Each structure stands twice: as structure tokens, then as C-alpha cells.
Structure 1
Amino acid sequence: MGKLTDRTAKTVGPGKHADGDGLYLVVSPTGGRKWVLRYQMSGRRRDMGLGPYPETSLSAARMVALSARTNIAQGIDPLTAREEGRKAARPIPTFADIAKEVIADAQARTSNAKVAYQWERHLGHAYCGPLLARPVHEITTSDIAAVLKPVWRSKPEVARKLYPAIRRVFESARIRLRDQHGLNIDNPARWDDLKALGFNAPAQLSRGRHPSLPYEQMPSFITALRERDGVASTLLEFLILTNVRTGSALNAEWREFDLDAGLWTVPASKLKDKKHRKEPFRIPLAPRALAILKELEAIRTSRFVFPSATGKPLSNMAMLVLLKRMNSGVTKWTDPASDGKPIVPHGFRATFRTWCEEVARFPHAVVEEAMGHIVGNSVERAYRRTDVLEQRRQLMDAWAAQCEPRTTDNVLKFERSGGAPA
């Protein structure tokens, strides 16, 4: 028979009050009451909470304490048993649940909009649709093989990114199931198991360099581009005129621009080489690029310069879709040096670089700085104190003139670096 009664449980003052056999009613100075079972297991004293009073009655607390003592007598730690029971009761996450966390983590680690988009696409319905709704511990190596086979040989670019992404989901799932559910599973995406099913390393990437447009065609291309309405066409022209990477343009914010000074300052955190470049990247704006910004500023609806309908940055696919539509007509914008492949946004950086080599007369360091590349070795950079901004301004103005649509009466003549007319 216990020492406590329902009356004393209700009225007893602050302190720890024994009922017997390790069961206590603990009353706080503020009057809160809870049941605690004190016991020893392997020479270690432990306190096990049994619930608050009066939600857990005296009789209920005694019954739970009795069950716990039975476990102790059998060498079972009741606290461990309770935690394992809670883990077993939790719903097992699906592939989609774990993939969502992996995508969010991967996107937080990159400033490249294309990379962020690829994580979402690869682990979404496009490729992993059959896995999404299934509990992760039920998915087998054969299930993963069925997802990979359609792209393994036909789309090696996809395969090389899809497989590591799937493997990462199951590595994360393995740890989560172990820690939160008490389940130990193998990673069904292990490479040795896939090799046993006949998989070999995916073929070498089939794409090579990014298809680019010959610089001689830039005036005609810009003419066609300006005939297109929409944010994507404006964004693509701005991308061309500033020669930045796609992610920097997509995520450009108004606070980064000084329109009076004709200057765009990209924070180091948004740069591809942010691990090595600690200072922001200053980009001089040619008159046409500045005009685009002033037109957009008059109708701005977001902190982003090129927003989607939701106010967030445009998707990386916006310019790709635009170029695909521009190539659906009679005129084809293709790269003759890449077997006539359709051009892509990043290819315009190659167009700019080729024009710099063959036409423009600017020092190598100026051109490389305009490309956003790290100039010189570590020793040279230690003594370098300039980003040659004004020389780059002249370079970008000349590039804008090269791209500007023109008639035969106002063609600008440049000499190639070898002395021949452009």
C-alpha cells in the first residue's frame, strides 16, 4: 500500500513526496505536480517521468510504475523501452520527405541558380516520380535501377547528377531512420549493388562546350531579341551586355546598383568563386544596360531586378525557353563550331571572350577581370590593388556597340588583333 492518498496528492506542499518503491510526487514552488519513478539500472540512478498530476492519477501512476519495475526485474531499462516504442510509433518518412530536406540543404550551399534548379528537378517528379510516395525503408536497389536505366546511357549528363543525388537521399534517410525510428537500413543506392545489376560508369559527358553565337551575328540576334516581349528577353540582353554568369543576373537586386555611377556591385556571397574571392565584384554598366535598368526601375515590383510573377527571381529555365522559341522560326541561332547546336545563355560569355581575342584591343588582365576570373597567381594578387574598372568600362561600352543593331550606314569598324579588318 502506498503512502500517498488522493487528498494528500492534491494538497501537499512543495517538495518530493515518496509513495513507496521509488515512486515520488514532485511539487514545484509554483504548485505544479508530476510523478517520477526513481530506479537504478546497471549501477546508474535514473529518474523516469510518469506524467503530471492530476492528469495522471495516483492509481495510474502506480500502475505505470509497476510495469516499469517489471521491466527492470527482467533487465530492461524502462526509459529505453519507452523511447524505442515512441520511435516505432513514428511514421516512416517517404522518399519525398527526405528529398525535400536534401534539396533545401543543397540549394542553401550554392548561389548558382542552375544548380539549385537541377537538385529540385532531379529529385522531383521528372526522374524520381515512382519513388516519391514510398517509405524510404521499402525502396530497393532494383527500384532505383528502374529509375536510373532510362537515362543511364541516353542522358549521361543527367545520370552523372541524378545518381549521386539519389544516393545522398538514402544516406540521409539511413541516419534519420537510425536516430529517430530505431531502424538500421543499408543504402539501396550503393554502387557495388548497382554494378551487380549490370551498371557501368555512365558515359563521358556528351555536351562539351556551351554552344555560342559567332560575335558577327550579335547585332542581328539583339534585333530579334528586342522584338520579344517579357522579362526573359530583357534579362537575356542585360546578361549579354554585362557578361555575368546566369545566377548573378537572375538574383540581381536593386540595392546592388548605383545607377548614377553606372555601376553594379555583386556581393562576394553571390559569386561562383566566393570561396576564393572575398571582395565584391564591380561591373561597369554600358549605356544600353543602364537604360534597361532605368526602364525596369520605373515599374519595379520586387527587390529583384528581374522578378517572376511571384516576385521571386525568374527560373533558370526562362531564358532557355526563350531561346527555344526564337529557334522555332525560320532563323536559327546555332553554334557552327558545335555541329549546329542551339545556343544557350552561358554561351554568350564565350562569344564575348572570342570577340575580345579577335577584335577588341585590351590587355589580358582587363578581359579576364571582365570575365569575373581570378587574375594572376597568388603572389601577383597579393600586390594587385586594382580591378581596372575604368578600362573595363571602355571594354563593355565597345562590346555594347558590337551588339547594337545597326544599318549599313553606321557599322562600327574594328580591327582584328592581327591587323585585318573585322
Structure 2
Amino acid sequence: MVRALNRLSASGVKAASVGKHADGGGLWLVKREDGGAQWVLRVTTHGRRREMGLGAYPDCSLKEAREVADQWRAVARQGLDPIKERERQRREAARNIHMLGDIALDAFNSRKAELKGDGKAGRWFSPLELHVLPKLGKVPVADIDQKDIRDTLAPIWHTKADTARKAMNRLGIVMRHAAALGLEVDLQATEKAKALLGKQRHTVQNVPAMNWRDVPAFYQSLDGGSITELALRLLILTAVRSYPLRFLHLDQIEGDVWTIPAAAMKGRLGTTSDFRVPLSAEAQSVIAEARKFARDGFLFPGMKRGVISDMTMTALMDRRGLKERPHGFRSSFRDWTAEATNTPQDVAETCLGHVTGGAVERAYRRTDFLEQRRALMERWGSFIANKAQCNVEKMRKSGSETTTY
């Protein structure tokens, strides 16, 4: 029994023939016909014989094989399956490599194609980057639980409710991405964190919008001919969002129709179609005036490169002392259609780029109401550019006349 261990020698291993050679204690050298060799340890746990590879010879020497075999025999004596224990240790080691910050970035990159402009504006990633990753970015994703998430988002849960909600949503996506990669994560962690944080007290407020009756006077005050004023005028005339307008490329315009690529549109889930915007005579006039600023094909280029920023038009309104925001002109237009016209809801909503109706209804309704929208946008352009209308509005405000629209 004394000779049960260490039967092989280094020279004997090197000269071993094809077959299995016992070193004792369950350690075997398996020599293959192709000249290669493998160390194998046989142990019995829970009444079952298990064989686990310890490495290839000569990369793993006889001495190293014996040391590793001693370690796993000790594990087996504790009543543990050495193969399962090794797998557990590997998972533990792998878990420490997959930090939340790395998984979050991988999740973002995998979703860029789904995001507007391939996510270049950074809005999808910024809630994570600003409010989650500074605290949890270097934490293994498998270690993150609801308490970690609660403690991270608690400071902004009520004071910046919308941002906190977005951060929680993005974090949930990242956790699901980690699970898809085969990592062990708690997929319910974000929902549990919401329960711990409680209902948000903050009420989300709508973007401040100008009353539609005041739009003509404001529109006509944008008479300086600057690139920002022209951009804001076209934003008002078309009722589009700022992103597609800022990235308006001249090759998107054909005649009196501006075609916005589907990738640049928001709020059109369920369709991959480009969006056609009918251009009124006033809108075409603004575009013609803005062409002198065009650079690299973009109608509204930035000062040095790219296009004008998202805050350029907002800053102009701030300088005017207005609390209303450029995005609010979409609401102004929608209120005008509801209060001053008899426009069908489907037509009015389509003007804003909204998808209406269920999937089945949309499958049968192929029209985008272009002709109806063309007439409506022409009427809107005439209304806000009409100086006589502006004078009537001033009289209404002074109380000298009551006007019905």
C-alpha cells in the first residue's frame, strides 16, 4: 500500500507506450496513438466513479499532475464532486470578469441598429452612464441585487423621476443581455428594486407649448434670417421633431415633399416606412432661404461641423424670455387642428408622424393621407405667416375685439 502512489517516473512517462498507465491514487496517464497524452484523475463521490481531465502532457508535468490530483482528492474527501466543484469555480472566476460596465456597453452596441441615428446622440446610454455606472460599473453583474439598484437610484427616484425611470429600464435590458450571454443574474432585480423604492411622487410635466393663437406673432418675429431662426420657422411649419429637422439633408427633398428616413423617426413602432412631409409654400420659401447655409448637404449645419445642436433653438427661445420649448409647437399645431379645423383624427395624428390604429387596421390601410395633409399644412402655413392674422391677434389680446377661429 505504501507503493500505491507515485508509481511513475519522469523518464517512464516520457517513454510510455500507447495505453493507460497508473501513477496510483486514481491518477492515470493516457497515451494516445497520435503521440499525445492526457492526465486523468479517477475519484468516487456519492457512489459514482468520476473521471476528470487534469491537463495534457507534457504541458502538465508529472509533478504538476500529482499536485493537482492531491487538491481534487481533498475535495472528493469532503463529499464534493470535483468536476462540479471545478465548474463552479470557473463560473465564479468568469463572474468576476463580467463587470456591469462592460455588459452595459455590449448591450448598447448590440442595440445601436434599433436606435435613432445608431444611438450617436447617446440618449439611450446616458441614464446608465450618468446615474448607474459610476456606482455599479465595476461590480460583477452576477453580484448585483435589488438593494444595490435601490441604493444607486434612490437619490434621483423622486427628484428626477423620468431619468430614474429610464435608468431602471435600461438596467433591466442590460441584465437580460447578461442572461442571454449565459451569466447568472437576477432578472427580477429591477422589479424588486422598484418595490423597495416605492411609487414615484414626481409628476411628469408636458413640454411647455405656446398657445396656437400666439404662434403667428412669434413666427413672424423670427425675421433675422439666421440659421437658427430659419430652422425654428421650418420646425413650426412642418410640426416635426427637432432631430429629423436638424439632420435634414437636401437629397431628402423632392418638389414639395420632404421624405424623412424611417430610422430618424420616433414614435412609429409597427412600421419601417419612411415618412413623407408635405411642404407648404411658406415652408418651401424657408428652405430656399436656408440653402445658402447648407454644408455637406445638410440644410442646417453647425458652426464648425455636423449640424446645429439640439439646444440651439431652445436657447433662442430662452433669450426671448419664453418658457415654451420648440418641441411644444407640435402641441400648438395639434390644438389648432382640433379647435380651428374639422380635420379627422387620423389625418391630424399622421401629420405628427404618429402611428394610429392596431396592427390589423394598419395592414389594410396603406395610405399616409398625403393629399389631405398637404392641404392642411398649406392652411397652417398661411395661418402663421399671415400678418393680418397677427394684427387681429394683437387686437384680441388688447380686448378691443373678440375673434372666433
Per the normalisation by structure 2, the TM-score is 0.66
Is the contact between residue 100 and residue 137 of structure 2 (CA under 8 Å) also seen in structure 1? yes
In the alignment, what sits opposite 1:284? 278
Q: Deviations over 1:151-193 (max 9, x none)?
A: 52x444445445x34873896699699946xx99995983587
1:122 shift after superposition: 2.9
Residue 222 of structure 2 corresponds to 224
**Residue 86 in 1 paired to residue 90 in 2?**
yes
Q: State the identity as a percent.
A: 23
Does structure 2 retain, via aligned residues, the 8 Å contact 1:284–1:393? yes
Alignment of 1:298-313 (within 5 A): 298-300=295-297
Match status 1:259 vs 2:254: yes
TM-aligned CA deviation for residue 349 of structure 1: 1.1
Of 59-68 and 287-296, the range deviating more from structure 2: 287-296
Give the AA of the match of 2:240.
V
Quote the Cα distance in structure 2 between the aligned partners of 1:380 and 1:354.
26
- Aligned counterpart for 1:356 among listed residues 337, 348, 358: 337
Q: Measured at CA, do residues 250 and 68 of structure 1 come closer, stay the same or move farther in structure 2, by a change above 3 Å?
A: farther
Residue 190, structure 1, aligned to residue 195, structure 2: no
* Residue correspondences, number: 380
Q: SS of the residue aligned with 1:369?
A: helix
**AA aligned opposite 1:284:** P
Amino acid at match of 2:237: L
CA gap 1:106/1:78 in 2 versus in 1, 3 angstroms = same
Q: How far apart are the structure 2 equivalents of 1:382 and 1:188?
A: 36
Q: What is the Cα deviation at residue 123 of structure 1?
A: 2.6
The code of the aligned residue for 1:326 comes to L
Distance 2:87 2:210 in 1: 60
Aligned counterpart, 2:154: 148
SS at match of 1:332: coil
Aligned with 1:123: secondary structure?
helix
Distance verdict in 2 for CA 1:400–1:93, change over 3 Å? same
For residues 381 and 79 of structure 1, the distance between their equivalents in structure 2, rounded to whole angstroms, comes to 56
SS of the equivalent of 2:277 reads strand
Q: How does 1:159-178 map to 2 (within 5 A)?
A: 159-162=164-167, 164-165=168-169, 168=172
Measured against aligned partners, the alpha-carbon deviations of 1:351-402 in whole angstroms (never above 9, x if no partner) come to 2223334455655543333222345677865654432323322333343444
Among 38, 49, 58, the alignment partner of 1:35 is 38
Does residue 124 (structure 1) correspond to residue 118 (structure 2)? The answer is: no
SS in 2 for 1:124: helix
Cα distance in 2 between the residues matched to 1:260 and 1:173: 45
Once residues 361 and 184 of structure 1 are traced to their aligned partners in structure 2, the CA distance between those partners, rounded to angstroms, is 53
Seen in structure 2, the aligned counterparts of structure 1 residues 296 and 225 have a Cα distance that, compared at 3 Å, is: same
Alpha-carbon separation, structure 2, partners of 1:403 and 1:10: 96
Contiguous gaps of at least 5 residues in structure 1: 334-341, 414-419
**1:394 corresponds to 2:392:** no
Q: 1:34–1:53: 8 Å Cα contact kept in structure 2?
A: yes
CA 35–369 in structure 1, closer or farther in 2 if over 3 Å, else same: same
Query: Alpha carbons of 1:24 and 1:310: their partners in 2 closer, same or farther (altered >3 Å)?
Result: farther
User: Aligned pair 1:322/2:342, yes or no?
Assistant: no
Find the partner of 1:18 among 17, 20, 32. Answer: 20
Q: Aligned letter for 2:321?
A: K
Separation (CA, whole Å) in 2 of partners of 1:295 and 1:208: 35
Decide whether aligned partners of structure 1 residues 268 and 291 sit closer, same or farther in structure 2, where only a CA change above 3 A counts: same
The C-alpha deviation readout for 1:35-94, integer Å capped at 9, x for no partner, is 242646567776544334433234323443444344345433333333333344453665
Deviates more, 1:344-353 or 1:20-29: 20-29
Deviation at 1:343, TM superposition (A): 1.7
Name the residue aligned to 2:396. none
Kept in 2: contact 1:50–1:64 (CA 8 A): yes
Which amino acid in 1 is paired with 2:312? Answer: L
Provide TM-score, normalisation by structure 1: 0.64
Tell me how far apart the structure 2 counterparts of residues 47 and 245 of structure 1 sit (CA, whole Å).
Answer: 65
Indicate yes or no: 2:55 matched with 1:61.
no
The CA deviation at 1:274 is: 1.9
Q: Is contact 2:115–2:263 with CA below 8 Å preserved after alignment?
A: no
Map residues 85-104 of structure 1 onto 2, 5 A cutoff. 85-89=89-93, 91=96, 96-97=101-102, 99-100=104-105
1:135 is aligned, of 132, 139, 159, to 139
Helix, strand or coil: the match of 2:331? helix
Offset of 1:264 from its aligned partner? Answer: 0.2
Is the 8 Å Cα contact of residues 241 and 289 (structure 1) preserved in structure 2? no
Task: After TM superposition, give the deviation of residue 220 of structure 1 in Å.
Answer: 3.3
Match of 1:372 among 334, 353, 374: 353
> Residues 270-291 of structure 1: CA distance to partner in whole angstroms, max 9, x if unpaired?
452323x354433233424654
What amino acid maps onto 2:297 in structure 1? R
- In structure 2, the CA distance between the partners of 1:106 and 1:44, relative to structure 1 (3 Å rule), is farther
Q: What SS class does the counterpart of residue 18 from structure 1 fall into?
A: strand
The verdict on how the C-alpha distance between 1:200 and 1:267 changes in structure 2, with shifts beyond 3 A counting, is closer
Change (3 A) 1:229 1:408: same
Gaps of 5+ in 2: 1-5, 394-402
Deviates more, 1:355-364 or 1:103-112: 103-112
Letter in 1 for 2:192: R
Partner amino acid, structure 1, of 2:64? A
Name the SS of the counterpart of 1:394 in structure 2: helix
Shift in alpha-carbon separation, 1:140–1:398, aligned structure 2, 3 A: closer
Aligned to 1:338: none
Aligned to 2:269: 274
